Amino acid sequence: MTLYYLLALFIAIILHEISHGWAALVFGDTTARDAGRLTLNPLSHIDPVGTILVPLLLTLSGLPIIGWAKPVPVNVGRLRHPRSQAVWVSLAGPATNAVLSFLGWLLCRLSLALSPGSSAFVIGGGFVTTNLNYAWLFNFGFALGVVNLFVGVFNLIPLPPLDGSALLERLIPTRRLNGYYRIRQNLLIITMIVVLVDSQTTHLLSRLFVHLESWWWSLL
């Protein structure tokens, strides 16, 4: 399943980023389009560390895989209504992950439907399928669904550089924004260090992944 999870993550984070650029374009910001970043060519979005190195290291460590693609440039100042529309631009990423997670569910259901007498159930905390004619389709759908659910929920945490920070920013009074922008870069660095290094945080993320995985499976 590891390869399925890595492929699902690759799809999840790249389409997540592209969706930010498309949402910004809808609201008047052409920065991503002008930079050629609205393409589906993965080479334009790969970050050597976030797209390749970190997911591989997490996989080898037995931890939930998470990563990031090269951020799509967005100029909030070019949005027609910057403060409100910036939130929607940020939420476009998790929304895309939700759609992809649903697509994964559809693929799993299709695999089961194409396999008469097949079943999917849980034994001792493990996920088991029987009599599947298209196991690869089910495995890919499962990975696509679970990984996108995890990426979407993770990005809603209200800390920079995650998308949820846009919701936090929207709650900050305009007169306080300059101060927030001054400390945001430091918050970004702190957030990434905590997520990747702190053992308690990685444990919490592991538990979150397991719970989301179990919940997603229960929908089949």
- Catalytic one of 4, 17, 96, 152: 17
Share of residues in the chain with pLDDT > 70 (%) = 94
Tokens 């590891």 locate to: 2
Task: Report pLDDT for 59.
Answer: 87
- DSSP letter at 207 equals H
Nearest-Å Rg of the Cα atoms of the chain is 19
For residue 15, report the phi and psi dihedrals to the nearest 5 degrees: -70, -30
Task: List Cβ neighbours of 32 (8 Å cut-off, separation of 6 or more).
Answer: 20, 21, 22, 24, 25, 38, 72, 73, 74
Helix (H, G, I), strand (E, B) or coil at 73: coil
- DSSP letter at 131 equals S
CB atoms near residue 94 (< 10 Å)? 22
Q: Is 213 a catalytic residue?
A: no
* Gap between the Cα atoms of 13 and 6, Å rounded: 11
- Give which of 20, 11, 18, 188 is closest to 90, Cα–Cα: 20
- Give which of 62, 24, 9, 71 is closest to 44, Cα–Cα: 71
* pTM higher than the cut 0.75: yes
**Per-residue tens of pLDDT for the chain, all 220 residues:** 789 999 999 999 999 999 999 999 999 999 999 999 999 999 999 999 999 998 998 888 888 888 899 999 999 889 999 888 999 999 999 999 999 999 999 999 999 888 887 777 665 556 677 778 888 999 999 999 999 999 999 999 988 888 998 888 888 887 777 777 777 767 766 777 777 677 788 888 888 998 998 899 888 8
